[in-house]
Amino acid sequence: MTSSLEDIWVYLAATPLLGLTLTLVAYQIAYWLYVRVEMHPLLNPVLVAVALLVTGLTVTDTRYQTYFDGAQFVHFLLGPATVALAVPLYAQFGKLRRLLLPLVAGLLAGATTAVGSAVVVGWLLGASRQTLLSLAPKSITTPVAMGIAEKLGGLPSLTAVLVVSTGVLGAVVAKGILDAVRISADSVRGFAIGVAAHGIGTARAFQISEEAGAFAGLGMGLNALATALLFPAVYHAFGFGG
Amino acid sequence: MIGAITVLLIYQLIGESLVVALGLPVPGPVVGMLLLFLTLLLRGGASPDLRDTAQGILQHLSLLFVPAGVGVMLHAGRVASEWLPILVALLLSTVATILVTALTMNLALSRVGKGASRDDE
């Protein structure tokens, strides 16, 4: 009996099915919990699902690569999901056109703050150079951030983790911060969340309203664009590329 | 639904191809998103199928970040030795980015004239 169980385990561990199914099950559990606590941001479903999976993989002594062989099918959907953001964006087009100037101003200020403050604070507290380079693009969506980190000599997989952490933090703190400074327009709230906390923030913004979600998606897309264009140029201009 | 997914994948594929062909420093899906957005502008709207599918995917956008997040396993050592600068940098920077973006946008809105913020409430 034990050996046949082991056989099943060996078989399952070698197929993508297990990693894929576990990801969905962990997310379902995390989402169920999230709904139970009335969407309290501290129990962010990404955070809980990651914690469940890391615990499970560690206990069963499974390597990340084995897990990712299955989970990559979920990871892949980040691409089409980014393209799909065009749809809610189009629905807000009228508003977007009126807000063009404020949006560009917010974007440039936000994109600079996101990279600059992370690098300066990390540097002051003694983070290593490789960690700083992995940290710099943390506010933009995973595939883009990983590409930038790789080009500059950071660690793409560390960047992925920092990007997800930023998203969770942003989703947790956004409402409190924006309430504290009395910003009530859904367009501004959503855009700020999207610029600072990419897709996880956008998912949170969609819970506020369709409009906040659309502007968060816009902020996420534009910040990916701005950071991808500006940051490598600044980096080389200051001669850090050495 | 299959039709809509096909559309999304085609736009991503065009986006990725343009990025490689023209050596753009921007990610393919972002270019795909801009192209689809332009198409919707020209066509004057999305089909109900595309709208439903996009909404379906975006409703659970968080799920898609889970596999990358589990990658924290690979960096347990570094995270353990540099957790303080990493945590403080992430937290301060995220708070600062939200504040700066929102306040700048709000300021620009009031400069532009009529507070467009009012019609949100």
What's the angle, vertex CA A204, arms to CA A202 and CA A210, rounded to 5?
Answer: 70
Q: Among all residues of chain A, which has the CA nearest to that of B118? A: A185
Q: Fill in the DSSP letter of residue A37.
A: T
Report phi then psi at A85, rounded to 5: -60, -20
Angle at A83 between CA B98 and CA B20, to 5 degrees: 105
Flag whether pLDDT at A187 surpasses 90.
Answer: yes
Q: Which two tokens stand for residue B59?
A: 């409703």
For residue A145, what are its two tokens? 């951030």
Tokens of A53: 């999976």
Nearest chain B alpha carbon to A61: B73
Q: A27: which chain B residues are within 8 Å (Cβ-Cβ)? A: 60, 62-63, 66
**CB distance B108–A174 less than 8 Å?**
no
Nearest alpha-carbon partner for B70 in A61, A64, A22: A64
Q: What CA–CA distance (Å, rounded) separates A157 from B60?
A: 23
In the predicted structure, residue A22 carries a pLDDT above the cut 90? yes
- Average pLDDT on A120-142 reads 92
Please state, for a pLDDT cut of 70, what percent of chain B lies above it: 92
Mutate to test the interface with A, among B101, B107, B109, B121 (most CBs of A within 10 A): B101
* B46 interaction partners in chain A (CB closer than 8 Å): 87, 90
**B65 touches A116 (CB < 8 A):** no
- Give residues 79 to 138 of A whose Cβ lies within 8 Å of B: 79-90, 93, 95, 98-99, 101-103, 105-107, 109-110, 113-114, 117-119, 121-122, 124-128, 131, 135, 138
- Length of chain A measured in residues: 242
- A188 close to B117: Cβ distance less than 8 angstroms: yes
**Interchain CB contacts (distance < 8 Å): A and B:** 336
Which chain A residues are Cβ-neighbours of B2 within 8 angstroms? none
> Looking at the predicted structure, is the pLDDT value of residue A234 above 90?
no
Mark yes or no for CB contact A121/B46 under 8 Å. Answer: no
What six digits make up the tokens of A35?
């709904």
DSSP class per residue in A130-198: HHHHHHTTTTS-HHHHHHHHHHHTS-HHHHHHHHHHHHHHHHHHHHHHHHHTT---HHHHHHHHHHHHH
Please give the backbone phi and psi of residue A132, each rounded to the nearest 5 degrees, phi first: -60, -45
Question: What was the ipTM of the complex prediction?
Answer: 0.85
Residue B116 pLDDT greater than 70, yes or no: no
Task: Kindly give, in sequence order, each residue whose CB lies less than 8 Å from that of residue B41, ignoring residues fewer than 6 positions away.
Answer: A90, A93
B104 touches A at CB < 8 Å: yes
Q: Which of B9, B73, B89 minimises the CB distance to A122?
A: B89
Per DSSP, A102 falls in state: H
Q: Output phi, psi for A213, to 5 deg.
A: -65, -45
pLDDT at residue A1 tops 70: no
Confidence of residue A147 (pLDDT cuts 50, 70, 90): confident
Please say whether the beta carbons of A203 and A39 come within 8 A.
no
Half-sphere exposure of A233 (CA within 13 A, CB side): 9
Which position has the token pair 């968080």? B62
pLDDT over 60 (residue A242): no
Q: What is the mean pLDDT of chain A?
A: 89
Torsion of CA A59, A60, A66, A71, to 10 degrees: -60
pLDDT higher than threshold 50 for residue A107: yes
b/e string for A75-87 if b means 16 or more Cβ within 10 A? bebbbbbbbbbbb
Q: Answer with the residue of higher pLDDT: B28 or A237.
A: B28
